[in-house]
Chains A and B, each alone.
Chain A
Amino acid sequence: MHVPDGFLDAPTSIATAGVAAVAVTIALRGARREVDDRIAPLAGLVATFVFATQMLNFPVAGGTSGHLMGGALAAVLVGPYTGLLCLTVVLAVQSLLFADGGITALGTNVVLMGVVTVVVGYLVFRAAQLVLPKRLSMVAPAAALGALVSVVLAAATFVGLYVVGGAVPIPLDTLLTAMVGVHVLIGIGEAVITFLVVASIVAVRPDLVHGARRVLDVRPLETRVSA
């Protein structure tokens, strides 16, 4: 859902650029706590994987496609602050090198596909973790739920921005229904991909997954004594 130049007016684009700049500044500070010797190389991998996967548009409904946004995935794997930095690099490279997403719309895209999907994806993930059993097998389902909700809320956020500064007047309910409808389907694809990737890494090296740390911390209490 890379927003091109022209969909939103200049004041709205400037406002979203400001929000994006503040969010990235906060992420740069917050990432200091997340980035250790293990996370640093993983962040490069996560950003690269998100970039690659965003090239893979999958069909969702007649003549429509969608691709991974990756905010929830990145937040669960390397933490929300580092995750936002990963998404910001991806979106900037896409805009500047690949003409995917406008230049003046870069702030909008960082807000929608970076800030919203990372924050919503991570909060839903953490909430799900609180409710679900504290097991490693629950990390991937929780991440998938965060992924689904994050895409739908990113679509809804675009609608909110469009209502404020859209180029052509469109009735709010019409736009909201259309955007949320198609992005529920895209969100299901996002959830499947997020589940598979998180489950794969949890299976081989759970200690590398930021979102699995709390579960790993309590695991010694569950150690079974062999009879």
Chain B
Amino acid sequence: MNTRRRVSTRTVLVVGLLVALVLAGVVSYYASASPDGLNRVAGDLGFAGAEQASRTQDGPLAGYETAGVDGRWSGGLAGVIGCLVVLALTTGLMLVRRRSAQPTTVGGE
């Protein structure tokens, strides 16, 4: 038999979430600021000028900066907020899916 202690699902979820929050909140500060592959190609080949500013560019988190927070933690805070929003939306979506998927399999109380 497997003698290794089984890591609980809760542990996997909590550790995974902490890793994501640290990546978005702290490590993101050290991310490369160079243009990404598409933006680089657009600049090199001459269609970067076609870019139109996003209609959400004046939002409080636009550009991964938190409005009203300057310096070191502005991006990290935006990242953490983004993580929590994504987590809430996805989990909510999955709960709705799951409920509609098993309307009769769960026994009554």
Contacts and interface: CB of A to CB of B under 8 A. Distances in A.
Does A associate with B in a complex? yes
A38 B9 contact: yes
Interface in B45-94: 45-47, 49-57, 59, 61-64, 75, 78-79, 82-83, 85-87, 89-91, 93-94
A12 interface: no
A36 B36 contact: no
A7 B42 contact: yes
B34 interface: yes
A161 to B, nearest CB: 12
A97 B82 CA distance: 8
Nearest to B42: A7
A43 B64 contact: no
Contacts of B35: 63-65
Contacts of B20: 45, 48-49, 51-53
Contacts of B57: 99
Interface string A180-201: 0011011000000000000001
Contacts of A56: 23, 27-28, 31
A40 B64 contact: no
A88 B78 CA distance: 19
A41 B93 CA distance: 11
A85 B93 CA distance: 9
Interface in A37-60: 37-49, 51-53, 55-60
Contacts of B59: 96-99
A52 B79 contact: yes
Contact of A1 (B38, B55, B78, B85): B38
A52 to B, nearest CB: 4
A139 to B, nearest CB: 16
Interface residues of A, number: 74
Given A6-B50, A47-B86, A51-B83, A174 B45 contact: yes
B52 A179 contact: no
A115 interface: no
A177 to B, nearest CB: 10
A40 B94 contact: yes
Contacts of A48: 17, 20, 83, 86-87, 90
Given A42-B12, A103-B56, 4 more contacts: A48-B83, A67-B31, A85-B93, A168-B50
28 contacts: A1-B37, A4-B52, A31-B97, A37-B98, A40-B94, A40-B97, A40-B98, A41-B91, A42-B12, A45-B12, A48-B86, A49-B20, A51-B82, A51-B86, A52-B21, A58-B31, A60-B37, A63-B40, A64-B37, A67-B36, A89-B90, A93-B89, A99-B62, A103-B54, A168-B50, A174-B45, A178-B41, A204-B7
For the complex of A and B, list the 7 residue pairs with the smallest distance between their C-beta atoms, beginning with the closest: A167-B50, A6-B52, A44-B91, A52-B24, A65-B32, A99-B62, A47-B90
Interface of A: 1-7, 28, 31-33, 35-49, 51-53, 55-60, 63-67, 82, 85-86, 89-90, 93-103, 155, 158, 166-168, 170, 174-175, 178-179, 182-183, 185-186, 201, 204-205, 208
